[in-house]
Amino acid sequence: MYSSSVNRRAALGKLSLSAVLALAPRLAMARAGEEAEVEDAAEPFSVGLLRERARRLAATSYIQPARQPALSGLSYDDYFRIRFRPEADLWKDRRPSFRAEFFPPAYLYSLPLPIHEVAAGLARPIAFDPAMFDIPGEHADVAKAWNGFSGFRLLYPLNDADKLDEIAVFQGASYFRSLGRGQRYGLSARGLAIGAGEPNEEFPDFIAFWLERPQNTSEAHQGEAVVVHALMDSPSCAGAYSFTIRPGEDVVFDVTASIFPRVAMAKAGAAGMSSMFLFNVAAASPVDDFRTAVHDSDGLAIWTGADEHLWRPLQNPKAHRLSNFPDENPKGFGLVQRARALEDFGDLQARYDLRPSLWVEPLDPWGKGAVHLAELATTKESDDNIAIFWRPEQPWAAGSQVDLRYRLHWGQERFATPGARVFRTRTGADAQAGLRLFTVDLQGGALAEGLDGVALEVEATGGEIAWRALSPYPEDASARAAFGLKPAATNADLSLRLLRGGAPISETWRYLWSA
């Protein structure tokens, strides 16, 4: 849904002081004659009131939101030529270093959204004004009919104290994204996934936002946070969301959500995320490509409630497929980018080596359920063909309230296994023997002590393990596990781990092979 192009900003010509003041969000720049109008528009706001609003919404029939008329002939590049003028930034004169900028309702993002600022318990609408945007002349007249924003981005000096960087974007359905220090945008998170990866998938919308004015701090960049609230709606449910966003080496979101199903929801997916995987060294590119690999994420990591660490390499399958990993009270899961060298990809422009990992840390017990993985076939790196989410074992009942609390870590891989972890998977054919060959390279943990007493455990469903071998790898604390598979079906579910004294010393590698 997004592109790193949203980072690009056009240079602005010199503006008079009166023009700068005219661009500022109306609620923040009210003059004496405007103060009464702005105060009249203010309404009490709290998380409790937002929750009740979502509950009342779910008690009514769903109404498809009205969207803006499309701009004819507006292309992707045209859309990103429409610039928000930084002179209109929200909070530009406050000590906390957060800024908010807004997006116009056009191109793929035609749903106009009311956005409010919250201060002292009162919410005031941010008035939409086309003058906030630098709009190419051929589209300026159409822009006069716009009546709301399509989303927003948050800025903060993440990498340099003197430069504002994008740290979050909320735009499109219930999607949002962030990144860690020194990184570029990649995967996205979702407020809620419903039937993800299946026919007739439902995409809930965030239909309104409230941005809390950051509190003044005595010292800049010390424990600063910004809070965003959202109202969600879809045919199946309504919901109230709050995001407390803390920038740092990682950007961390604390998420609280209350969801009110209109109908029984057997396919709800909490803490969902979407990413892209086209190819890497384990699987040939579906198109002729000069690069070694193309992906925003290369694996699904799960830390189970039983304290097992799983690693599932991602694939771009020939046909769409769904997998699930049952668990009870998971400690965390996420989509991870472990390939971190430029030469892992050979791409100087996209810099996939700088894409963030995203880890979900539940803050309450989630009970029984499963982490679900959808892998969709694609030939385009512009497609988000990977989705994961948590689906509870018991469907959410119509008329109930489902409360969720979890933490999102955007940045480097967090909560990795203390044992050896997989850093590369390769596979190929031994046509003469009728086998599939697999090599799994692991590093770290107890492998620093060498391979004495280390056993290789390999299991297969849908095939027979013909041979296995464990060898030192010519890097510190590393080993290569290899085996040959004689398939007995069109799919084989494989697992591998290292043991010493009968106890695991590595994460568990899981792989779904398809003929």
pLDDT in tens, 504-514: 999 999 999 99
Q: 34 pLDDT band (50/70/90 cuts)?
A: very low
pLDDT at residue 128 tops 60: yes
Rounded mean pLDDT of 50-54? 98
Return the exposure string of 172-211: e unless at least 16 CB atoms fall within 10 Å of the residue's CB, then b: bbbbbbbbbbebebbbbbbbbbbbbbeeeebbbbbbbbbb
Residue 350 has pLDDT above 60, yes or no: yes
pLDDT above 90: residue 367: yes
Residue 145 banded pLDDT, cuts 50, 70, 90: confident
The answer to whether residue 1 scores a pLDDT higher than 50 is no
Local confidence band at 345 (pLDDT 50, 70, 90 cut-offs)? very high
Residue type, 281: V
The pLDDT-based confidence of 75 (bands split at 50, 70, 90) is confident
Res. 353: pLDDT tops 90:
yes
Q: What is the mean pLDDT of residues 150-170?
A: 96
SS3 254: strand
Please determine, for residue 8, whether its predicted confidence score (pLDDT) is greater than 90. Answer: no
Tell me what the mean pLDDT of segment 274-289 comes to: 94
Given a cut of 90, whether residue 76 has pLDDT beyond it is: no
Contact (Cβ atoms closer than 8 angstroms) between residue 81 and residue 259? no
Please state the rounded mean pLDDT for residues 2-12.
31
Model confidence at 269: pLDDT above 60: yes
Region of residue 390 (left: phi > 0; alpha: psi -120 to 50; beta: else): beta
Q: Would the pLDDT of 97 be above 70?
A: yes
Domain with CATH 2.70.98.10 in the chain: 4-273+393-411
Mean per-residue pLDDT for 408-437? 94
pLDDT band at 16 (very low <50, low <70, confident <90, very high): very low
Q: Which residue has the tokens 């941005």?
A: 211
Residue 322 has pLDDT above 70, yes or no: yes
What share of the chain has pLDDT > 90, as a percent? 78
pTM of the full predicted structure?
Answer: 0.91
pLDDT of the residue at 268: 98
Listed in order, the ranges of the chain carrying CATH 2.60.40.10 are: 421-514
Predicted pLDDT of residue 13:
29
With a cut of 80, say whether residue 306 has pLDDT above it.
Answer: yes
- Cα–Cα distance between 1 and 58 in angstroms, integer? 26
* Contact call for residues 252 and 408 (beta carbons, < 8 A): yes
| Local structure of 175: helix, strand or coil | strand
Residue range 153-180: mean pLDDT, rounded: 96
**Quick one: tokens of 282?**
């384990």
Query: Any idea what DSSP says for residue 502?
Result: T
Q: What is the mean pLDDT of the chain?
A: 89
Check pLDDT > 70 for residue 63: yes
The backbone torsions φ and ψ at residue 300, rounded to the nearest 5 degrees and listed phi first, read -100, 125
Query: What is the spatial distance between Cα 424 and Cα 336, in angstroms, rounded to a whole number?
Result: 13
Q: What is the pLDDT of residues 182-238, one digit of tens each?
A: 999 999 999 999 999 999 999 999 999 999 999 866 555 557 999 999 999 999 999
61-65: list long-range contacts, CB under 8 Å, 24+ apart.
62/233, 62/234, 62/235, 62/262, 65/111, 65/205, 65/207, 65/233
- Which one is predicted more confidently, 9 or 344? 344
- pLDDT given at position 441: 98
Higher pLDDT, 30 or 342: 342
- CATH 1.10.10.60 is held by the domain 4-273+393-411: no
pLDDT at residue number 30: 37
Quick one: pLDDT at residue 445? 96
- CATH code at 421-514: 2.60.40.10
- Going by their DSSP bridges, the two strands 491-500 and 454-461 should be labelled as antiparallel
Per-residue pLDDT of 464-504, as tens digits, reads 999 999 999 999 999 999 999 999 999 999 999 999 999 99
How much of the chain exceeds pLDDT 70, in percent?
89
Q: Work out the number of other CB atoms within 10 angstroms of the CB of residue 409.
A: 22
DSSP state of 449: G
pLDDT at 96: 64
Looking at residue 7, its pLDDT comes to: 32
Query: What confidence score (pLDDT) does residue 221 get?
Result: 54
At residue 69 the predicted structure's pLDDT band, cuts being 50, 70 and 90, is low
CA 342 to chain centre: 22
